[in-house]
Structure 1
């Protein structure tokens, strides 16, 4: 496998890990918690989902051939905190990820050095991918943090639970000794 194929596999796996964190957070929250926000200037998980979904559809649809900021996107509407049922929020979330993963699966090593536009600005495909990794990890981190804040002691850790680092490290070292 060449460097381009490895890179595409690595970023696909990173995006999958991000999506999984969001999915696991949604499963721990009730519908009301999806709309909680600290104050009117902060975003609820529902708003973040609408924004991330809208961004994904815009950025990853016709990725190599059209500007990543589609004229049909209404970014400001993504930040409207009007109620949508959980099923609709999940549909928006899943649809965005599906477009992203389909686009990544279609990219080749040769595509990585091509240029794409975002709001008229040229970006190498690799730079555009890295831009989205940064953007989505920022928002998924917000989703997880809000979930953890709301669930307090009922939160089921999505990584290594506090106080269990040594045990986790030992388990990992044992696992990899056998390989």
Structure 2
């Protein structure tokens, strides 16, 4: 028995290579493999009657908004009304000192009302957490600095909004 590979024959054809590989892998002869039957695809006829145009999309009817979003000016007006309604009631709020201070700070920033600084300061002093109290006292100082630097500010100007960023300018 000769176990030397046959180096004399040259397999150069792809079909012969496929047959050889099929025999090595134990799949048998490649010619005996079942071949899937291919069914031809019918080409669509070019008659005009067979062409179905795309259905036109239905027109979109805009859905009326039940609660339309108010414009920015309307929102500011609502905000100022709420602030003016809240201002006399803030002393009646039953809140922890931290939250009550936040309400005072919001009112001060919305109205630039200097008369709210003293009650805000008193509320800040009642905060038990030292870190939070320090932050509240710093916020009070910043508001006092802002209100002191603002020219022509009346004692109670409830219709003037404060700037968005309340930080001092760095020069």
Flag whether TM exceeds 0.5 (same fold). Answer: no
TM-score, normalisation: structure 2? 0.24
TM-score, normalisation: structure 1? 0.23
Structure 1 or 2, whichever has the larger Rg, is 2
